[in-house]
Amino acid sequence: MSVEVFCCLHSAAYKIKNKVRWITIKNIKSVIFVVLGFISFGVGVAGAVLPVLPGGPFFLFAAFCFGKSSKRVENWFKGTTFYKEYVVRLRENKGMTRKEKIRINLIADAFIIFSVIYVDMIFVKVIMVMLCMIKHYYFIRKIPTVTPEEAKDIRAALSNRQNIDLTKLNA
């Protein structure tokens, strides 16, 4: 084999090898975020249906994952009613109803109490109780409490604003 042919083959193999590595490194993060986003979305849908499981935090995590994965998946998620119902209102800090706050806190507290009972390390128990107190402080002081009527008005205003934004994008 001549030196020129060997160099040409070596150069082609090097380009293919680097291209495959580039594609894999570039897309692996996107694939991981899409998978995590759909898992979180599925749990969020279950939370929207089941009264014991809060869907909002899972939809927020799904929005984050879809935003990091690809524009196409992010646009699909932003078009769903779950996004409009749960994520936009929480993301823009418009508030939660008292019922939503109580439900989320009770479920989270049940898991924290379960963990405190079954964990043997006192240090971990103290951290769990401190996190529980911080969570309650955040829900009581930082997230505004709105009445169900106000929540309905906020949802309608946000839905109208998003519909106007979508028509501007399509025009």
Residue 7's pLDDT is 46
pLDDT band at 8 (very low <50, low <70, confident <90, very high): very low
Residue 126's pLDDT is 92
Indicate the range of 23-27, 83-87, 113-117, 136-140 predicted with least confidence: 23-27
Domain that holds residue 6: 1-91
d(CA 84, CA 165): 13
Phi, psi of 97 (to 5 degrees): -75, 160
Residue 48's pLDDT is 78
Structural domain includes residue 38: yes
Residue 73's pLDDT is 86
The structure tokens 């009613």 sit at 81
To the nearest whole number, what is the mean pLDDT of the chain? 77
Query: CB neighbours of 60 closer than 8 A, spacing ≥ 6?
Result: 86, 87, 90, 91
Task: Look up the pTM and report it.
Answer: 0.55
97 forms bridges with which residues in the sheet? 146
**Residues 44 and 81: beta-carbon distance below 8 Å:** no
Q: Say how many domains are in the chain.
A: 1
Structural domain includes residue 116: no
C-beta atoms surrounding 69 within 10 Å: 22
Reported as type and span, the H/E element at residue 138 is none
**List of E strands, the chain:** 96-97, 145-146
C-beta atoms surrounding 55 within 10 Å: 23
| More confident call, 89 vs 129 | 129
Structural domain includes residue 44: yes
Tens digits of per-residue pLDDT, 100-129?
888 888 888 888 898 889 888 999 899 989
Tens digits of per-residue pLDDT, 16-59?
455 555 556 667 888 899 999 999 999 888 887 776 677 778 88
Structural domain includes residue 134: no
d(CA 113, CA 106): 10
User: Quick one: DSSP state of residue 137?
Assistant: H
Mean pLDDT of the 119-143 span: 89
d(CA 29, CA 94): 32
Structural domain includes residue 60: yes
C-beta atoms surrounding 56 within 10 Å: 20
Structural domain includes residue 7: yes
Indicate the range of 63-72, 80-89, 139-148 predicted with least confidence: 80-89
Structural domain includes residue 55: yes
